[in-house]
Structure 1
Amino acid sequence: MSEDRVSTQGASGIAVKFAAALGRLALFLQLYLILASRWQDGRSLLGGVDVFFSYFTVLTNILVAVVLTFAATSGDSPLRRFFLRPSVQGGVVAAIVLVCLAYNLLLRHTWNPQGLQWVADELLHDVMPILFVIYWWFCVPKGILRWSSVWPWLIYPLVYFIYILIRGRWVGSYPYPFIEVDRLGYPQTLTNALMVLVGFLLVSWVVVAVDRARGKG
């Protein structure tokens, strides 16, 4: 099996298609809820799109949906080959696991979503991370990752933090309470960001360790 191939035959192929569709549904639902809320409050819908793309959860779930969609479909393109590389999928696994852990450990207690928002919340933070880890475990070739693979993965959260700090200074709001510069100040915000990056690095090394153990097995 080549590095850019995944095992999605038979029942596993149906399951991957279902997961890809569910991931897209969760994202569309969250976007709808943000836009509907802003419409009711008479606020800019374009600003709602900006808010939607400001969440690390949303951006990472977009990556998950893209990988699953490419895995569930056939064809050949440079973009498809890129996203189906085990090294790329390993980085996406690390990011979506971080989303799940950070939300459940740091953010779940900060609000109490109801109705459709609760559905979107659970799909994006719990259901899709679990489904993607299952997909990665069974369908992605193992034994390819190296310990050095984690360093390129760090680019994604680093760029995100830089972007969100610049955006926050521009619009005056931040998507997560632990990076609210206007309330915490830069020293505490950067410390919090560094702790999250360390958490991402630890999760990444676990992903590599599992990959190498499964490859040997």
Structure 2
Amino acid sequence: MSILVLAIDTATPAVTAGVVRLDGDATELLAEQVIFDPRAHAERLTPNIVGALGDAEVTVGQLDAVVVGCGPGPFTGLRVGMATAAAFGHALGVSVRGVCSLDAIAVGTTGEVLVVTDARRREVYWARYRDGVRIDGPAVNAAGDVPAGADAVAGSPEHAALFELPRLAPVYPSATGLVRAVSNWEVEPEPLVPMYLRRPDAKPQAAAR
């Protein structure tokens, strides 16, 4: 049975929205819009969604499901994407499935692959995969503290360059990767849980004292 999926991710500087047709194990990208701006998640996500739906010639009423990247990523970016996904799911009465954004980058890779994205503070979010299946992480560390052992690296080009490994093409969570990262479409989705991996910078005043 074919279903239409809205896929969105705001866990990285890439503000991603796309429409994917899922038919069994086959995925077909109908449209995707991506803007690279780490400070424009809130401003760009909805226009990207509207643009992708228009390019795909799909109305919101035709959507059967929503998939959203749950990080790891910064607090503000994740909140924008996940709140938007939840709002679409509630308004349309369709399921919303959260996936690890790093999993969406790793989908389709072979061998042992390290995926890294920008965690700021001179650190990276990372996870390790074997043939596209996560075997370690996600975690956040300085690049020098990430365990060795991968055959190649994918993800943020600037941060992948910190590792002396062959670089693979995937650099951000794509709409197709997000949909393919869903492990089982037959079960009820779990509640959306953001992968912040670290506490927010802001602290209650009493705690700060």
The structure showing larger relative contact order (alpha-carbon pairs under 8 Å, at least 6 residues apart) is 1
TM-score by length of 2: 0.30
TM-score by length of 1: 0.30
Q: Which has the higher strand share?
A: 2
Q: Which has the higher helix share?
A: 1
Structure (1 or 2) with the larger CA radius of gyration: 1
